[in-house]
């Protein structure tokens, strides 16, 4: 698929996701009047190691884009907007995976280190930071959890050629930093 068409699909998917209703959550860059991030129920396999503290909880709405590779659907990239508890878009999530703050430009890249399958939806994940940049909300993030997932599963049907499909999903992303 040509890059222009892929960008158009991703832009359209993000625009549709942004127009949707966001889940109520607490932002990691919350103002002093906002309450501290709320604890989220986490499968044992996805627990963050001791010595890290929860610093942000954001709702995500977007798509998981799959591409046809050798007759099977393979994940190409996620594209999602993350919102705070007031429904304001505060970050974008995309291929890398990377999360970039739309408020302060800080970013975090991560790699999945544990997975917890869920029937009918993409799995919940524990990700460890591989790099951060900037001095904002994502600076020094050590771990990320993808929780409360809905949707996003690749089609069960076979594919041909260079087909691509974007499947809507939602999740809650939690962000942790070293407690030291």
User: What sign for the dihedral angle of Cα 35, 147, 178, 107?
Assistant: negative
User: Which H/E stretch holds residue 45?
Assistant: none
Residue by residue, pLDDT tens for the chain (180 residues) are: 444 444 444 444 443 333 333 333 333 333 333 444 555 689 999 999 999 999 999 999 999 999 999 999 999 999 999 999 999 999 999 999 999 999 999 999 999 999 999 999 999 999 999 999 999 999 999 999 999 999 999 999 989 999 999 999 999 999 999 998
Q: What is the pLDDT of residue 37?
A: 56
Kindly report the pTM of this predicted structure: 0.80
Rounded Cα distance, 180 and 172, in Å: 25
Angle at 75 between CA 146 and CA 19, to 5 degrees: 60
Per-residue exposure over 49-75, b if at least 16 CB sit within 10 Å of its own CB, e if not: eeebebbbbbbbbbbbbbbbeeeebee
Quick: pLDDT tens for 73-94.
Answer: 999 999 999 999 999 999 999 9
């Amino acid at each position: 698929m040509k890059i222009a068409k892929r960008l158009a699909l991703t832009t359209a998917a993000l625009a549709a996701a942004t127009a949707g209703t966001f889940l109520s959550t607490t932002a990691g860059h919350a103002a002093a009047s906002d309450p501290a991030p709320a604890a989220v129920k986490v499968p044992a396999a996805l627990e963050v190691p001791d010595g890290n503290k929860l610093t942000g909880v954001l709702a995500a709405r977007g798509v998981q884009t799959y591409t046809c590779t050798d007759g099977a659907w393979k994940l190409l990239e996620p594209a999602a907007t993350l919102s705070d508890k007031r429904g304001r878009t505060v970050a974008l999530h995309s291929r890398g995976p990377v999360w970039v703050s739309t408020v302060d430009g800080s970013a975090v890249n991560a790699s999945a280190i544990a997975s917890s399958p869920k029937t009918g939806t993409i799995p919940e994940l524990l990700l460890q930071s591989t790099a951060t940049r900037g001095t904002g909300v994502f600076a020094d993030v050590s771990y990320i959890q993808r929780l409360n997932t809905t949707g996003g599963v690749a089609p069960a049907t076979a594919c041909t050629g260079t087909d691509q499909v974007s499947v809507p999903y939602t999740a809650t992303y939690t962000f942790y930093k070293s407690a030291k």
